[in-house]
Structure 1
Amino acid sequence: MSLVMQAVYMFTLAQLVVAGPLAFCVIPAPVIKSSTPIQNVTSNFPWAIRRDGGGGGTIAGKHIVNFADTTTSNPEAFRKLGFLPFASNSIAIAGEDGMHVTDTGVGKYVGVKQMWPFATSKSPINGETREENKLNHRYAIWPNTNIVSACGGACGFTVSNVLDITISPYAENFLYSTLAKITIGNEGPTVKREAVALWYKYETNYGEYGLARARDGSNDIFLFAAPEKSFGMKVARVCETEIADKTKYLFWNGKTWAKNPPGALDSTANIFQYNEGGFGPGTGDIFWNKHLNTWISVFNDEMSAYSMFRLMYSTTGNILGPWSEKPIDAYKPFSCGDNKSNLLCSVPYNYGTHAYPDIDTTGKTLLLSWTYDGQQTMFSTIEFE
């Protein structure tokens, strides 16, 4: 082989190593064909349930959805207890359409069961008791991330933020994220916190934005992060069996997978860039779409009053991109600005925006959800051409 041909070969091979075998196949931009009317989440409980958060996944063939603060509007419980049953978080098993869920009840006066355990003296986790409630304080675990299938489909991993919330005055203080392993048995979902504290507030919170399985034949899981003012998406990877040990993680720094994470504001380490009016990606999901034959990311802006589902996609089919330079406006959800009634919203913006690709594994349609008015989960399904 001539020196010139060797040079060309080595350059091409280097490109494939970084970008993958689809590097030279340009993926066309997704086109949204239609959307369905809005529906509210419905539960098997006879009472209304107020909750926020979101993020789903499939475990043991069942689709489950994570929720954060959950209040069961049970009038009998209110008469007996003087308050409505409340849980810091909950998990529901969804039906085929993803919008009708089965909740698990607990207690003499039935409310939705809290699923994520706290590390206290009554329920220590790996010897940890740091989440004991203090005077005028309480802890909260607010899941708002998808669940990635693992254990050959028998379990799932997800990440949630743990916060210290003062009761009076109300304020929230992010402490750290926690990694959980979820299984499903005869009594419903069970949450085991594999790492009580995974990432602290001074670290980039990999996994907070979402998790996904690698598609390169490895047993790795990708964990995504969208740090505030980073205006883009970062990614780490780790073998499934070592996901609770962050010393085993590799981080994409814009050039290679490295042992040390890039700086939170290092935009060169982003797999895609996004800045819309000073807002970066808010809550959302990254996943492989079979119909589009590429990775896509669907999200809302960070707590923006202007509510819109944005879509970014890999133009090569590789997780590292290149990705689309501009977002696609995928769906305009109902928001408080659209509310023409006399009922004022207590929270003026939508949040907890998520996509549920497991509901239609063909990828032709995509179920979306968002939290409206801080307490109501709404759904709509978009269809791609």
Structure 2
Amino acid sequence: MFIISSIPLVLLLCQPLVALVARAPLPPQFTVIPVGQETSNFANVHRDGGGGGNINGKNILLFCDTLTPTGFVANSATYSNSEAPEDQIDFGENDNPTLAIPFTPTEEAFTNAAFPINQTRTVLWPGSSITYLGGSKGMFFANVAQYNVEGTGAGNQYNTLVTVTANEAAPSFVRTLEQAFYANGPLWGSFGSVYSELEGILLFANTDAGMKVAKVPPLLYADLSQYTYWTGSEWSSMAPNLNDTASAFIPGLNPTSGDIFWSNYYRTWIFVYMALTNVFYYRYSLNGGINSIIGPWSDEFELYDTSIQTWTNGETYDYAGHAYSGYDPTGRSIMLSWSHGLNDEYMARVQFK
């Protein structure tokens, strides 16, 4: 693979030069088409969470707690059908998905000691986009937390850096850094990450102060000393404090889940997210161009109310919303996914006009 300024050539090809391609007019005009509940080649699989991305032509979806009639794992991963994204291919035996991202011995020991006493366990819940690194490899961050069955507990402890490899048989996951960033500061990358032609890998953190961003050269993503952080005026080797408002590129915005991606159709960054309600919202960078991740950003617009599709069975709780741009490289459409009622996943397609 040829290298230009330490950036793999294959990544440069992911974002065509802005000046050479006309963009569709903003704000986006769109239609949302309900797709329905996600299915699996395994019987009676129920799960929540979300996130994922495209590696080497494989659409990988990540999930949190995954339950079957005879088994349970704290996280799982599937290959999603490019033509019918709601169709998932699970990996494992006897209709029981395998644990995708492993726990460390220390994390397992905590669960073994605490769960019999107060039903508290270590959880490793992926909930971010996967950033493509070229070839068959990608990366993402996932939070490691401590919760009991009622959803209370110590909460997030730290995040872990995961490298994922995709081949024809199945995706594989390695915790490249078992403990990366700690919860007393921004959990960089846990909200999501994305490749930028000019900035390298951008890593997002959602905080009460607003959305924050760090960056790292693609070839050095596993070296935390190479990370720099947006302070509000410059990139610095010193990370801002968790509650520092000046460093937020969208102050005051703290969605529970979402994704930021480059749109080949609109030639700008688009941010799709879900708050504590059942509604997807979106914003877009007003500057356009690949170097405008820090904004300014547009106002908030409603994208899709998931209750239209899922509030038909008495459950009125939708969460863990994500947007996937990898199914359509033209940018004319994206897929949405979300969790419904704690154990089912649904999807919809956003078709841009």
TM-score norm. by structure 2 comes to 0.85
**How is 1:157-168 mapped onto 2 (pairs within 5 angstroms)?**
157-166=139-148
Contact 2:50 2:63 in 1 (8 A): yes
Residue 87 of structure 2 aligns with which residue?
100
Q: Against the structure 1 CA distance between its residues 61 and 202, is the aligned structure 2 distance closer, same or farther, given a 3 Å change threshold? A: same
AA of the residue aligned to 2:292: I
The alignment status of 1:67 with 2:63, answered yes or no, reads yes
Secondary structure, counterpart of 2:307 in structure 1: coil
Unaligned runs of 5+ in 1: 1-20, 74-83, 121-128
CA distance in 2, matches of 1:253, 1:285: 21
- Counterpart residue identity of residue 285, structure 2: S
User: What residue identity is the alignment partner of 2:232?
Assistant: G
- Partner of 2:326: helix, strand, or coil? helix
Residue 327 of structure 2 contacts residue 335 of structure 2 at CA under 8 Å; is this kept in 1? yes
**Superposition pairs of residues 297-376 of structure 1, within 5 angstroms:** 297-301=271-275, 304=276, 306-317=277-288, 318-334=291-307, 339-341=311-313, 343=314, 345=315, 348-376=316-344
Corresponding position of 2:33: 36
Report what 2:205 is aligned to. Answer: 225
Shift of 1:349: 2.8
Distance apart, 1:105 and its partner CA: 1.5
**Percent of residue pairs bearing the same amino acid type:** 29
1:142 aligns with 2:125: yes
Distance in 2 (CA, whole Å) between partners of 1:240 and 1:37 is 36
Question: Which secondary structure state, in structure 2, belongs to the residue aligned with residue 247 of structure 1?
Answer: helix
- Indicate if the aligned counterparts of 2:269 and 2:293 stay in contact, CA closer than 8 A: no
Match of 1:200 in 2: 182
Aligned to 1:294: 268
Matched residue of 2:246: which SS?
Answer: helix
Q: 1:168 to 1:55 in 2, by over 3 A?
A: closer
Summarize the Cα distance change of 1:27–1:184 in structure 2 as closer, same or farther, 3 Å threshold: closer
Per-residue deviation at 1:382?
A: 1.1
Separation in 1, partners of 2:143, 2:350: 29
Q: Please tell me the residue identity of whatever aligns with 1:61.
A: G
**How far apart are 1:204 and its partner, in Å?**
0.5
Q: CA deviation at 1:205?
A: 0.6
Tell me: CA distance 1:90–1:26, structure 2 relative to 1, closer, same or farther (3 Å). Answer: closer
The answer for unaligned runs of 5 or more in structure 2 is 1-17
User: What secondary structure does 2:179 align onto?
Assistant: strand
Determine whether 1:155 maps to 2:137.
yes
Mapped to 2, the partners of 1:254 and 1:159 lie a distance apart of 23
Change (3 A) 1:174 1:384: same
The alignment status of 1:259 with 2:237, answered yes or no, reads: yes
Contact 1:166–1:172 at 8 Å: present in 2 too? Answer: no
Amino acid of the residue matched to residue 269 of structure 2? Answer: W
The answer for the alignment partner of 1:270 in structure 2 is 248
How has the CA–CA distance of structure 1 residues 31 and 274 changed in structure 2, closer, same or farther, with 3 Å as cutoff?
farther
| 1:68-83 pair list within 5 angstroms | 68-73=64-69
Cα distance 1:165–1:294, how it changes in 2: closer, same or farther (>3 A)?
Answer: same
Aligned counterparts, 1:11-26, within 5 A: none
Q: What RMSD in Å do the two structures reach over aligned CA positions? A: 2.5
Distance 1:328 1:166, change over 3 A: closer
Tell me by how many angstroms 1:26 deviates.
Answer: 11
Helix, strand or coil for the counterpart of 1:241?
helix
- Please name the residue that 2:104 is paired with: 119
Larger Rg, first or second structure (1 or 2): 1
Equivalent-residue separation in structure 1 for 2:182 and 2:266 (angstroms): 36
Q: Cα deviation per residue 1:214-262 (whole Å; 9 max; x = unaligned)? A: 212x6x21101111x21x3211001223222222210011111101112
Q: Residue 156 of structure 1: SS of its match in structure 2?
A: strand
State whether residues 52 and 129 of structure 2, in contact with CA within 8 Å, keep that contact through their aligned partners in structure 1. Answer: yes
**Are residues 365 and 110 of structure 1, via their aligned partners in 2, closer, same or farther at CA, if it must alter by over 3 Å?**
closer
Q: Distance in 2 between matches of 1:38 and 1:185?
A: 27
Q: Distance in 2 between the 1:320 and 1:185 partners? A: 31
Go from structure 1 to structure 2 and tell me whether the alpha carbon gap of 1:202 and 1:354 turns closer, same or farther (over 3 Å shift).
Answer: same
- For residue 265 of structure 1, report the CA deviation from its aligned partner: 2.4
Is the 8 Å Cα contact of residues 272 and 325 (structure 1) preserved in structure 2?
no
In structure 2, what is the equivalent of residue 3 of structure 1? Answer: none
Q: Is the 8 A contact 1:27 1:294 kept in 2?
A: no
CA distance in 2: counterparts of 1:65 and 1:168, whole angstroms: 26
Distance, in Å, in 1 between the alignment partners of 2:306 and 2:331 is: 20
